Amino acid sequence: MFALLSLGFTLSLDNFRISIALGGLKPTLLRSVKTSFIFGLWDGIAPLVGIIVGHYISDKVDSTATTVAAVGLGAYGLFVVIRALLRPEHADPDLRWATRGLPLPLSVDNVAAGASLGLLGYSPWLAPPLFATITFVMSVAGHQIGRTAAHFIPRIRTDLLTGIAFVTMAVFLAMGITLPGGGG
């Protein structure tokens, strides 16, 4: 069980890192909970798919997870930067675009993990809900940390800074640079 908890925690770190950056958009607690629920749901469904589909998809998904994540993060980051530069209001105040565009790239690695867990005989009733719960908690925490940090940066548009952070993370992933707080 400790190994499963450790894996769930490790897989949730990418969502935690992204949630810290999203905290720069200063979401309300309710918006944070809703967004984190969506992230957790995707991180629960992804290993379930992996467990069901098994070894075949593991090799395919594992090799493309970083590319999918880099494209997703980069696209969202560019969206936020462009909106921040063109409009005076915050780029994505209700995180609508974040909840539509980020869950898939953040969950692709969980499909490969699920495939491995399926091969090891783990139940689809245990790992997916556990991973979803861990991701939810880590995402809420990340949002709150990022939101708190954004309050200490009063003269800079935090949405612009958030967009730049996403683009930077995407470039690092594309270059193969391992980011703190996550495997990808």
Whether this prediction's pTM lies above 0.85 is answered by: no
Q: Are 15 and 78 in contact (CB under 8 A)?
A: no
Q: How far apart, in whole angstroms, are the C-alpha atoms of residue 138 and residue 165?
A: 19
Q: How far apart, in whole angstroms, are the C-alpha atoms of residue 160 and residue 177?
A: 23
Name residue, tokens 């997916």.
128
Q: Each residue of 135-146: pLDDT tens digit?
A: 999 999 999 999
Give the DSSP letter string of 142-167: HHHHHHHHHTT--SS-HHHHHHHHHH
Angle, helices 103-119/2-22, rounded to nearest 10 degrees? 170
For residue 67 the two structure tokens come to 């590319």
User: What pLDDT band is residue 123 in, cutting at 50, 70 and 90?
Assistant: confident
For residue 77 the two structure tokens come to 């980051």
Which of 46, 40, 82 is CA-nearest to residue 61? 46
Q: Each residue of 66-83: pLDDT tens digit?
A: 788 889 889 999 999 999
The whole-chain average pLDDT of the chain stands at 86
